[in-house]
Amino acid sequence: MSSANGAYRPPAWLPGGHVQTIYASLLPRPEVRYRRERVETPDGDFVDFDWLETTAGAGAPLVVLFHGLEGSSSSHYARALMRHVRVIGWRGVVPHFRGCSGEPNRLPRAYHSGDYSEAGWMLATIRARVPDAPMFAAGVSLGGSALLNWIGRESVQAPALLMAAAAISTPLDLTVSGLSIDQGLNRIYSRHFLSTLVPKAMDMARRFPAMLDEASIRRAQTMYAFDEAVTAPLHGFAGAEDYWFRASSKPWLRKIGLPTLVLNAKNDPFVPASSLPGPQDVGPGVLLEQPEHGGHGGFPAASLPGGLDWLPARLVSFFRSAAA
């Protein structure tokens, strides 16, 4: 698919990527109800799937949403998408990455941007529960990275599970984004993430002292330091730089044949526009949309007092067109 500009236009009273990002996260979150399913993993751990409570029939399309770093089914973008899905008569599910559903996991393992095998296992598990329904997947930020990694690496298997996919505000080049998030005003976001990542890692270090160094975690004040002390040793990387290089999804975009929307605002605070791909960087299935505005996982609607309707509508519109 060709590159295209998205239709998103920010309200004039809401300028700048930082403002659009933060404002969207502070808007009232739609009320949705979930049914939680605990699923045992092949390695003896568990993950929690939150299924949207809906009256849609068994054959209705299903949207799988992979949340972002320290996100969940309660994240603003998750609730907005699930509400939209319910209103149009579709179904939805939010699988939680390990440690993100409110309860510590059993094993010394967390989640990361290149966690494609986990994302693929989740999709296969969900597909087994809905064998006959059209199925779509979306991922926000880290969730988009894991999803794109899987689609690119599993270019043959992906169309057997999904009709189309979308990645929103994905840090496609983790080295560029990893350095960016620890600079200037972006430290607002890194501190926000670390406020929950560090306590969870400290708890894991106490339970598994042979895997993690508690003192190194306590000293982590940047995402680089956290990935060096936690993400890399837990998941088999030599260090933060090795993790960022090997887990980046940008190199895999060329392999993607499945209809896939890759949506990145050019004013995303910690996904610099210079790191975004062009048409020469992607496979035939990828549609690039790079609007000038939107922030990171933001895209607040223009009408006062603002809302979260634009992104869900754009995703469903893409899914419908890809399935037509």
Selected from 3.40.50.1820, 2.40.50.140, 1.10.1060.10, 3.30.420.40, the CATH number assigned to the domain covering 17-173+249-323 reads 3.40.50.1820
1 pLDDT tier (thresholds 50, 70, 90) = very low
Q: Is the pLDDT of residue 183 over 50?
A: yes
Q: Please tell me the distance from the alpha carbon of residue 104 to that of residue 213, in angstroms, as a whole number.
A: 18
2 pLDDT tier (thresholds 50, 70, 90) = very low
- Is 227 one of the catalytic residues? no
Q: Please tell me the distance from the alpha carbon of residue 244 to that of residue 118, in angstroms, as a whole number.
A: 18
How many C-beta atoms lie closer than 10 Å to residue 198's C-beta? 19
Identify the pLDDT of residue 302: 64
Q: Note the pLDDT tens digit of each residue in 5-21.
A: 457 888 777 788 998 99
CATH 3.40.50.1820 residue spans of the chain: 17-173+249-323
Identify the pLDDT of residue 278: 96
Higher pLDDT, 2 or 244: 244
State mean pLDDT over 253-262.
Answer: 97
DSSP state, residue 250? G
324 pLDDT tier (thresholds 50, 70, 90) = confident
Model-level pTM? 0.95
Identify the pLDDT of residue 260: 98
State mean pLDDT over 190-217.
Answer: 95
The active-site residue, picked from 25, 101, 113, 141, is 141
Share of the chain above pLDDT 70, in %: 97
Residue among 72, 140, 87 at smallest CA distance from 295: 140
- What's the token pair of residue 324? 């037509």
Q: Is the pLDDT of residue 3 over 90?
A: no
Q: Note the pLDDT tens digit of each residue in 54-99.
A: 998 889 999 999 999 999 999 999 999 999 999 999 999 999 999 9
Residue among 64, 69, 40, 68 at smallest CA distance from 51: 64
The active-site residue, picked from 25, 50, 268, 275, is 268
| Paired sense of beta strands 34-40 and 286-289, if any | unpaired
Mean of the per-residue pLDDT values for the chain?
94
Identify the pLDDT of residue 15: 80
Residue 243 and residue 237 in contact, taking contact as beta carbons nearer than 8 Å: yes
Q: Please tell me the distance from the alpha carbon of residue 71 to that of residue 24, in angstroms, as a whole number.
A: 14
Residue 148 and residue 141 in contact, taking contact as beta carbons nearer than 8 Å: no
The residue with tokens 């090795």 is: 242
- Is 296 one of the catalytic residues? yes
Q: Please tell me the distance from the alpha carbon of residue 83 to that of residue 33, in angstroms, as a whole number.
A: 9
- Is 141 one of the catalytic residues? yes
